[in-house]
């Protein structure tokens, strides 16, 4: 039993514990109202079990892992959604050079009637952590997808039901559970919170009392890291590691299904600012008559924000004529999502207050949004096999994290290092930013690849790297071994 050794979705033990709880919980009265036979009939069509082989690399360690997920077919041509939390970017990935990279290497989808299909990985939505895969090799086959009900009006106290996936050795492997809508949260976005479900059931399809699929189980977002609009810095809110769960509603799911996230394809609109909310106290201090807004704290050079003429200190109070009533930082994700979802090519009209101690002007600026910058996990990499390490391009998050300016600083990042390998022994460290190889400056992995090709041809005894580490530079001598 070596599978699920570092399981993110919860180890076998956890599943057992929850299962135990479920069996012990006294029957909840409203459960009688659900016709589970009919739900199961519905669920049989779209429910699949996904077996995914993952390669997980964290710096100098790489390990393979087998994961099992519950999936739902959402289009006729075989698009499947599942819990992508283990694959998605997290705060660590977006902010730190030390990235945990989880790459699916083989995906197999099994329908409940036992048919097996291969699938390819598409990507994970960073706001909901819902992952998408696509069944391949069966172009002509038509599946019966689930269609989520949009526009559902949730009520506190109403009951929802779902199926969860049990461990492999339990047969049959699906078990029903019920939970209750406990609170309708309006911000950061519309999100009916639930009680009674567990995080092991994430992304299971939720049915209401009319047996309509109204959404999937998701987690409330924590906006506390959200001080730029680059996105990817949101994580689910949790207390003692237990997330607050609720419904990712049908409208949102249908949007995602229409345009599923793709790994390595930045599909979010981006303005290029650091931001904070205009609180009522600040508005009062500056004598501004607006109920909230976005304070522009920093502007990325060459970004849409700079090109639009935004200035540090400006307050954005309208986007495309719609009011931005953001009066506390907890609501920032509303703005971040708005910009992200307008898309990379959108042109937006920003109404802005530019104020000094004595005066405040309002102006209208037009910004052409661009693609959001890549996260460290998405950055292109290049493996230097002869020296046993891997580099990646610098990304926006690196500049932010290290407080560096792209105009004056360039290089490539040491992203993976084989333990005991030549580069490791020579003294390169994870996160080092290589600025030159020999005396040739490098600014991208393409340049590294060109230099390394000639190095590998010439086979020198040593390769000297000039690297940036902890705000200082130094030379690192890596001894080669060409035999």
Partner 1 sequence: MYKLIVVVWSLLAATTISAGMPGGAAQEEIFHARDKVMPALVHIQPVIKNYNTGELEKRAVIGSGVIFHPDGYAVTNYHVAGKAERIICTLYDKEQVTAELVGGDPLTDIAVIKLHLEGHTGKIQVAEFGDSDSLQVGQYVLAMGSPLSLSRSVSAGVISTKDRFFSPDVRLPSGERTGRYNLWIQTDAAINPGNSGGPLVDLSGRVIGINSRATLLANNLGFAIPINIVKETVHAILTEGKVTRSWIGLHCQALQELEEYFGTNRDAGVLISSIDPGSPAEAGFLKAGDIILEVDGTPVSARFVEELPAFYNMIATHKPGTEISLTVLRDEQTYTFKITTRELGQLQGEDFECKEWGCAVKAITRQMQIENQLTDTIGVYVVGVKRASAAEDGGLRPGDVITKVNNEQLSSLGSFITLYSELTSTGTDGILLTIKRGGAVRFVFVKIDHQDKEPADE
Give me the residues that bind partner 1 (CB under 8 A), please: 227, 274, 276, 279, 281-282, 285, 295, 297-298, 312-313, 329, 357, 400, 403, 405, 438-439, 462, 464, 466, 470-475, 477
User: Which one, of 138, 211, 204, 131, lies nearest residue 173 by Cα?
Assistant: 204
Contact 271, 248 (CB under 8 A): no
Residue 422 CB, shortest distance to partner 1, in Å, is: 14
* CB-nearer residue toward partner 1: 184 or 282: 282
* CB-nearer residue toward partner 1: 182 or 274: 274
Residue 298 CB, shortest distance to partner 1, in Å, is: 3
* CB-nearer residue toward partner 1: 320 or 470: 470
Residue 386 CB, shortest distance to partner 1, in Å, is: 18
- What residues have CB less than 8 Å from 75, skipping those under 6 apart? 143, 145, 257
- What residues have CB less than 8 Å from 286, skipping those under 6 apart? 355, 360
Q: Is 447 exposed, middle or buried (0-12, 13-18, 19+ CB in 10 A)?
A: middle
* CB-nearer residue toward partner 1: 48 or 300: 300
* CB-nearer residue toward partner 1: 141 or 462: 462
Element (H, E) at 44: helix 36-46
In order of 3, 29, 179, 204, 312, the CA distances from 161 in angstroms are 29, 13, 6, 9, 48
* CB-nearer residue toward partner 1: 132 or 468: 468
CB atoms within 10 A of CB 171: 7
Residue 477 CB, shortest distance to partner 1, in Å, is: 5
Question: What is the three-class DSSP state of 286?
Answer: helix
* CB-nearer residue toward partner 1: 74 or 273: 273
* CB-nearer residue toward partner 1: 7 or 276: 276
Residue 451 CB, shortest distance to partner 1, in Å, is: 15
Contact 139, 147 (CB under 8 A): no
Residue 357 CB, shortest distance to partner 1, in Å, is: 5
Residue 117 CB, shortest distance to partner 1, in Å, is: 47
Residue 140 CB, shortest distance to partner 1, in Å, is: 54
Question: What is the three-class DSSP state of 211?
Answer: coil
- What residues have CB less than 8 Å from 291, skipping those under 6 apart? 280, 283, 323, 325, 327
Residue 276 CB, shortest distance to partner 1, in Å, is: 6
* CB-nearer residue toward partner 1: 219 or 400: 400
C-alpha to C-alpha distance for 357 and 400, rounded to whole angstroms: 30
Tokens of 399: 């500049």
Residue 233 CB, shortest distance to partner 1, in Å, is: 13
CA dihedral of residues 326, 221, 87, 98 (deg, nearest 10): 70
End-to-end Cα separation, the chain, in angstroms: 39
Residue 385 CB, shortest distance to partner 1, in Å, is: 23
- Whether the ω angle into residue 172 lies within 30 degrees of 0, i.e. cis, is yes
C-alpha to C-alpha distance for 179 and 402, rounded to whole angstroms: 44
Residue 401 CB, shortest distance to partner 1, in Å, is: 9
Contact 314, 300 (CB under 8 A): no
* CB-nearer residue toward partner 1: 169 or 285: 285
C-alpha to C-alpha distance for 123 and 126, rounded to whole angstroms: 9
Element (H, E) at 16: helix 12-24
* CB-nearer residue toward partner 1: 400 or 414: 400
Q: Which residue is listed with tokens 């600026």? A: 365
DSSP at 248? E
* CB-nearer residue toward partner 1: 355 or 371: 355
Q: What angle do CA 120, 122, 125 make, to 5 degrees?
A: 150
The residues with which 351 forms a beta bridge, in sequence order, are 318, 364
Tell me the longest C-alpha to C-alpha distance in the chain.
77
Element (H, E) at 184: strand 174-185
């Amino acid at each position: 039993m070596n599978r699920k050794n570092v399981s993110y979705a919860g180890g076998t033990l956890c599943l057992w514990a929850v299962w135990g709880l479920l069996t012990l919980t006294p029957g909840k009265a409203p459960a009688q109202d659900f016709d589970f036979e009919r739900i199961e009939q519905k669920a049989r069509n779209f429910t699949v079990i996904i077996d995914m082989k993952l390669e997980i690399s964290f710096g100098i360690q790489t390990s393979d892992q087998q994961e099992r997920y519950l999936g739902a077919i959402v289009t006729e041509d075989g698009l499947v959604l599942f819990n992508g939390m283990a694959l998605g970017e997290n705060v660590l990935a977006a902010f730190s050079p030390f990235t945990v990279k989880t790459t699916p290497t083989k995906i197999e989808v099994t329908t409940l009637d036992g048919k097996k299909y291969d699938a390819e990985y598409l990507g994970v939505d960073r706001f909901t952590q819902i992952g998408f895969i696509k069944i391949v090799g069966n172009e002509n086959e038509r599946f019966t997808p689930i269609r989520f009900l949009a526009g559902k009006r949730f009520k506190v106290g109403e009951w929802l039901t779902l199926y969860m996936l049990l461990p492999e050795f339990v047969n049959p492997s699906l078990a029903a559970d019920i939970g209750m809508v406990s609170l309708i949260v309006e911000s950061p976005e519309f999100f009916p919170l639930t009680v009674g479900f567990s995080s092991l059931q994430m992304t299971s399809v939720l049915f209401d009392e009319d047996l309509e699929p109204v959404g999937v189980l998701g987690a409330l977002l924590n906006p506390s890291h959200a001080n730029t609009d680059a996105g990817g810095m949101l994580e689910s809110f949790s207390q003692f590691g237990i997330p607050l769960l609720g419904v990712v509603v049908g409208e949102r799911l249908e949007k995602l299904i229409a345009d599923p996230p793709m790994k390595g394809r930045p599909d979010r609109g981006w303005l290029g600012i650091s931001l904070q909310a205009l609180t009522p106290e600040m508005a009062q201090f500056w004598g501004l008559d607006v109920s909230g807004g976005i304070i522009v704290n920093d502007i990325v050079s060459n970004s849409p924000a700079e090109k639009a003429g935004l200035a540090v200190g400006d307050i954005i109070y309208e986007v495309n004529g719609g009011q931005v009533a953001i009066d506390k930082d907890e609501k920032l994700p509303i703005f971040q999502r708005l910009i992200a979802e307008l898309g990379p090519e959108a042109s937006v009209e920003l109404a802005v207050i530019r104020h000094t101690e004595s005066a405040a002007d309002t102006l209208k600026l037009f910004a052409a949004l661009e693609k959001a910058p890549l996260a460290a996990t998405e950055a292109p990499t290049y493996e230097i096999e002869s020296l046993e390490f891997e580099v990646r391009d610098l990304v926006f998050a690196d500049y932010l994290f290290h407080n560096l300016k792209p105009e004056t600083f360039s290089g490539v990042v040491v992203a993976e290092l084989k333990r005991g390998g030549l580069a490791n022994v020579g003294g390169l460290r994870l996160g080092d930013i290589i600025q030159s190889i020999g005396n040739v400056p490098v600014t991208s992995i393409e340049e590294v690849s060109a230099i390394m090709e000639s190095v590998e041809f010439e086979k020198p005894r040593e390769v000297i790297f000039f690297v940036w580490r902890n705000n200082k530079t130094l030379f690192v001598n890596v001894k080669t071994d060409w035999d």
